[in-house]
Amino acid sequence: MRTITKKVILTGSFAVGKTSLISRFVYQKFSATYKTTLGVRIDRKTVELPEITINMLIWDIGGEQTQLRVPETYYLGSSGVIYVYDISRPSSFSQIHDDLAYLKSKLHDIPLVIVGNKTDLLDPVTLEEAKQLVPVNTHFFTSAKDGTNVESLFIYLAKQLVNDPSGI
């Protein structure tokens, strides 16, 4: 089976669970202790699709207050972006329009997946109310803690990376 390698950016505001998401996906585990990401952390994960294997090099960027403080060159050459916010903390998606506009200005025509993380922190009713507050269309609501939708998210992105419009 053919294998291709792709660079993927994982970004979003600080403390939204980006590093935990990647830990859950890459190592199938969740670290309960949050550790502020220093600059960039790079992990590798292979996703096997029926026709092709995708070797994803995931650049876990930032943890900064805004996207503007992340070195621009980190985004170069990437084939996909995952933007993560914390569904239980509205301040984490208060700047989502600006952040997405910035990402789109730097990364043209590549798949961008928007993720609302930490669903485990809300009960079903509050979760539905919180979803109404998010000003953009979210592709996946995930929980790095219990694994909800994490695998699906990365498989969806892998399919997008090989231009498979079927997604899930």
Partner 1 sequence: MNNQSQQHTLVEKYLMEKLQSIILQEDRRQIQDISGSLQNLKVDIDALNHEFAKMQGGVSMLVDNLNNPEKLDARVSPLVNMRIQQLKKNFYQEFGYEVKETVKEELESSKDEFIEVLYPIIGKLVQRYVRYQFDIFLENAQKGIGNTFSVKWWKQIFHTLLTGESMTERSVKAAMPAQVEEVFVIQSFSGLLIGYYSRSNTADPDLIAAMLTAIQNFVSDAFKSESGNLQTIDHENQRIYLHNFYKHYTATVISGATDAATAEKLNLALSDFSSQHIPAALTEIDDSLFNGVSRHLREIFEDFDPT
Binding residues for partner 1, per CB under 8 A? 2-7, 39-40, 42-44, 55, 57, 59, 71-74, 76-79
Let me know how long the chain is.
Answer: 168
Evaluate whether 88 touches 121 at the Cβ level (below 8 Å): yes
Structure tokens at 146: 């219990």
Evaluate whether 122 touches 130 at the Cβ level (below 8 Å): yes
Measured between alpha carbons, how far is residue 20 from residues 1, 24, 51, 109 in Å? 30, 6, 29, 27
Question: Which H, E and C letters describe 108-139, residue by residue?
Answer: CCCCEEEEEECHHHCCHHHHHHHHHHCCCCCC
What torsion, rounded to 10 degrees, do the Cα atoms 34, 122, 18, 79 define? 180
